[in-house]
Amino acid sequence: MKKRQGMSEGFIDELHNVLGKSVVLSGADIDARYHHDLAGNPVPKPRAVVRPRTTEDVSVLLRLCHREGVPVTTQGGMTGLVRGALPNANEIVLSMERMNSVEEVDASAGVAIAQAGTPLQKLQGRVEQDGLMFPLDLGARGSCTIGGNISTNAGGNRVIRYGMTRDLILGLEVVTADGTVLKGLHKYIKNNTGIDLKQLFIGSEGILGVVTRAALRVFPAPAERQVALCALPSFGQVMALLKLARKSLGGDLTAFEVMWNAYYRQTVERVKGVVRPLPTHHPFYVLLEASGSDAERIRDGLEKMLETAMGDNLILDATLSTSNASVAAIWRIRDSSVELGRSFPFTARMGFDVSVAIDRMEEYADTLDARVKAIDPQAFTIVMGHVGDGNLHPSVYHEHTPDKHDEFEKLVYDLTGEFGGSISAEHGIGILRRPYLKMSRTEEEIETMRTLKRALDPKNILNPGRIFTV
Amino acid sequence: MKKRQGMSEGFIDELHNVLGKSVVLSGADIDARYHHDLAGNPVPKPRAVVRPRTTEDVSVLLRLCHREGVPVTTQGGMTGLVRGALPNANEIVLSMERMNSVEEVDASAGVAIAQAGTPLQKLQGRVEQDGLMFPLDLGARGSCTIGGNISTNAGGNRVIRYGMTRDLILGLEVVTADGTVLKGLHKYIKNNTGIDLKQLFIGSEGILGVVTRAALRVFPAPAERQVALCALPSFGQVMALLKLARKSLGGDLTAFEVMWNAYYRQTVERVKGVVRPLPTHHPFYVLLEASGSDAERIRDGLEKMLETAMGDNLILDATLSTSNASVAAIWRIRDSSVELGRSFPFTARMGFDVSVAIDRMEEYADTLDARVKAIDPQAFTIVMGHVGDGNLHPSVYHEHTPDKHDEFEKLVYDLTGEFGGSISAEHGIGILRRPYLKMSRTEEEIETMRTLKRALDPKNILNPGRIFTV
């Protein structure tokens, strides 16, 4: 972003005066965490960090920034992967960290109301006290916030049963660019009263408004969770197993994760503390979870399904969790992708996040590997993903040079475009993937996004330059 | 709407020339169905009826209408209940009736692609041929179209399991007001690549764009469907039964419909051809459906749940469907609300569609009845609804006078506002409910809707005056 002219010298002083010293940090009071990425790389220090206590604080801040044309970047747990929340030069950081309360849990209505800065794990824990579950779950649960989950439409491990974050939102309170508060904390599943404004703010990475509170769907906590790890001879059998699992487990199927041989083998061999429940020579491994409130039904259903799968030669081998500890141990394999990446010294790992039609996933993975090797015979790919949702996370490992990095990135996004896939299933666009947005959206779609941005944020102050430039 | 200045004398001729005689009907060629409501009441004849064969036809039409500032009303199956699709004076009708093909059914991806004018029942039937189900279902299935379902975010009978129409949409092709085609027929569950534009067009009643094609989620067809009708002593037991059903049936619970005594009793006594599976003196009746692909599991689950409910004194009596015919016979009771309305001669029936918190539904219904009787001691209420989704359909029966009509309408919407409910759970706002939009949306929300309308349709040509005036 080019430097703005708007911010007058006294603007930070005005913020101090209006919002209070404890809300507005500047100069030496700004901690490094507000302007360093996950890897610890610094970006320029923001002019100020504003930490609102209330929705009214957010409204006051944005009204003033709108008046002056001062850009603002909103920060949640800073666990995003696309450089969406790191401040650009001259931006003010709006940190939601102090608005972190779960305000209400209503079991009979199936609703919880949380402030946007609430860490996901804190919300999960709070509703558990009432025998409930908020189904969204992802590796960053300890740090990521509800507001960040909403603005990125987070996916995670249970999408196959409960959908994306979007599907878990009943209502939102949002502050728009000029400080207007949209009080839309509706609690109803069914509410067809005009344009459903909340949808605009879910997944749009904070460029149209700042989410301050959310009414979220919560469900009865499952009494039982069982996990099976299966070994399969081919991707055709993986698809057949998915079909069988959907049929026989119905709504009790809560995860269907696939690991290509390289992922499983390398993880159990290289990552410390990971168990090896099955031998490492099989072509594919499926982690399959069933859960629900009727323990007997879950156990019987899963066992019966595995018997059928064995009988039909869909699976070569399988192991079933026998305790909470073994559930965790099996999930640990699937959740160790970051540790696996770090286990290869001198090698750069580039992680991707694409959606591809399931019946073309094998072809996609094979083509990717062949093209990667054509560029660099030493490079290799490791693939796994939420196959039940059509989502793959392929990684490319290579000796890092900036040229190669760009070449591999282009390769993956071009290939995804050729397959008619989505270049970002879960993680969003931010700044890092902006050059590739056009692989998944048409020019007319992007232009319509710009029209919306101009209408709702005419001075372009909210997370400017994220997703697209205006 | 005040009369537009825009339409030049030769405009209809230009449409004829550009789109062809068979696409553009005018004068005596315009059938009554394009300008009569469901009850057969006429509105002014439109200047022309345009029946596009392709998305390109829609684009050409809107480009020309945008140029001239000519308003257009889009028509699907004309089964809406809020006067959204009847033309206002001087509007051109855009009928989607010729774009009625199911273009693709992909079982492995779980996607069907249909043109917007496809009748719902036609789509249901087409995917059934491939062993699949499109879960949306409502009484108007034979006439209503996919495009109409999308633009009104239709609900219906299976929301408790599959969600609203919004939850079944993967991608949309949409033509915006100036004729731009947004090619967004994405097929992925997970696709976080910028603002999710399709959400804008779902449920916004055609004021932001014309949906031309949709990529829809389809599911394996359930092999088994079982229905129980239960009699209950109080609304407290109704809530307890819902909790039990959710817990023990999990994702197999596909409907939970509640009838207050008056609805059940009057329906089985007055509507011809309706059976009476249970006596008529119980306070509440619940229709509960379980379905899935594992027949044995569905039957066992439902029987076990009913035993528990009997043991816990939640239900006084129950009957279980023993055949497809008995499933249909029990559903027939629930689906006879229109026939019930017609069975009272000389009495006007006013149907409503509200969302209210489930633990306040009984109080809502009782208060409604008391207030209705305070206005007119001869008037009465009949209540039923999709209670599992928080949605009630109360009806007010009275000797019709225009004054009373307005008074009862105000009463229901005021009461819904007092209960913090939604004045339109499923049916939308259209023109009929426009005066009451402010009961469910704040001034700031409605003003933001206007901002979006102005940005995407600056000449206000798409369904003008529906939901709000600009």
- pLDDT, block means (10 residues), chain B with 470 residues: 58 95 94 85 91 98 97 94 89 97 93 98 97 93 96 92 95 98 93 96 98 96 93 97 91 94 97 96 97 86 95 96 92 92 84 92 97 94 92 91 86 94 93 93 97 98 96
- Cross-chain Cβ contact A108/B358 below 8 Å: yes
Per-position pLDDT tens, chain A of length 470 = 444 445 677 999 999 999 999 999 999 999 999 998 777 778 889 999 999 999 999 999 999 999 999 999 999 999 888 889 999 888 999 999 999 999 999 988 899 999 999 999 999 999 999 999 999 998 889 999 999 999 999 998 899 999 999 999 999 999 999 999 999 998 888 999 999 999 999 999 999 999 999 999 999 898 889 999 999 999 999 999 999 998 889 889 999 999 999 999 999 999 999 999 999 999 999 999 999 878 888 898 999 999 999 999 999 999 999 888 999 999 999 989 989 988 987 678 899 999 998 989 999 999 999 999 999 999 999 999 999 889 999 999 998 777 888 899 999 999 999 998 999 999 999 999 999 999 999 999 999 999 999 999 999 999 999 999 99
Among A159, A427, A449, beta carbon nearest to B194: A449
Q: What was the pLDDT predicted at B3? A: 45
- Cross-chain Cβ contact B452/A386 below 8 Å: no
Q: How far is B297 from chain A (nearest CA, A)?
A: 9
Q: Which fold has domain A344-425+433-444?
A: Alpha-Beta Plaits (3.30.70)
Q: What was the pLDDT predicted at A1? A: 40
The β-bridge relationship of strands B181-184 and B169-175 is: antiparallel
Judge contact between B204 and A192, C-beta under 8 A: no
Q: How many CB atoms within 10 Å of residue A39?
A: 5
* Token pair in block for residue B303: 């029987």
Q: In CATH, what is the architecture of B344-427?
A: 2-Layer Sandwich (3.30)
- Cross-chain Cβ contact A188/B425 below 8 Å: yes
Among A183, A251, A426, beta carbon nearest to B252: A251
The rounded distance, in Å, linking the Cα atoms of A321 and A443 is 48
The 3-class secondary structure across chain A, one letter per residue, is CCCCCCCCCCHHHHHHHHHCCCCEECHHHCCHHHHECCCCCECCCCCCEECCCCHHHHHHHHHHHHHHCCCEEEECCCCCCCCCCCCCCCCEEEECCCCCCEEEEECCCCEEEEECCCEHHHHHHHHHCCCEECCCECCCCCCCEHHHHHHCCCCECCHHHHCCHHHHEEEEEEECCCCCEEEECCCCCCCCCCCCCHHHHCCCCCCCCEEEEEEEECEECCCEEEEEEEEECCHHHHHHHHHHHHHHHHHHEEEEEEEEHHHHHHHHHHCCCCCCCCCCCCCEEEEEEEEECCHHHHHHHHHHHHHHHHHCCCCCEEEECCCHHHHHHHHHHHCCHHHHHHCCCCCEEEECCEECCHHHHHHHHHHHHHHHHHHCCCCEEEEEEEHHHCEEEEEEEECCCHHHHHHHHHHHHHHHHHCCCECCCCCCCCCCCHHHHHHCCCHHHHHHHHHHHHHHCCCCCECCCCCCCC
Q: What was the pLDDT predicted at A452? A: 98
Among B199, B297, B425, beta carbon nearest to A191: B425
Beta bridge partners of A102: A114
Multiple choice CATH, A11-97, 3.40.50.410, 3.30.43.10, 1.25.40.10, 2.40.160.20 = 3.30.43.10
Domain-wise residue ranges, chain B: 102-220, 224-338, 344-427
Judge contact between B203 and B166, C-beta under 8 A: yes
Which residue type is seen at A393? H
Mutate to test the interface with B, among A158, A162, A191, A463 (most CBs of B within 10 A): A191
Length of chain B: 470
> Residue A408: which residues within 8 A CB-CB, separation 6 or more?
A350, A372, A375, A379, A396, A398
> Residue B266: which residues within 8 A CB-CB, separation 6 or more?
B340, B343, B382
Contacts with A194 from chain B: Cβ below 8 Å: 204, 429, 437, 441, 445-446, 449, 467-468
Sign of torsion, CA B225 B229 B232 B236?
positive
Name which CATH class applies to B224-338.
alpha beta
Counted across chains A and B, CB pairs separated by less than 8 A come out at 265
Mutate to test the interface with A, among B164, B172, B195 (most CBs of A within 10 A): B195
Q: What was the pLDDT predicted at B156? A: 87
A348: left (phi over 0), alpha (psi -120 to 50) or beta: beta
Q: Which fold has domain B102-220?
A: 3.30.465
- By CB neighbour count within 10 A (0-12 exposed, 13-18 middle, 19+ buried), where does A183 fall? middle
CATH fold match for the domains B224-338 and B344-427? yes
Q: What was the pLDDT predicted at A347? A: 76
Contacts with A445 from chain B: Cβ below 8 Å: 182-184, 194, 197
Q: What was the pLDDT predicted at A6? A: 53
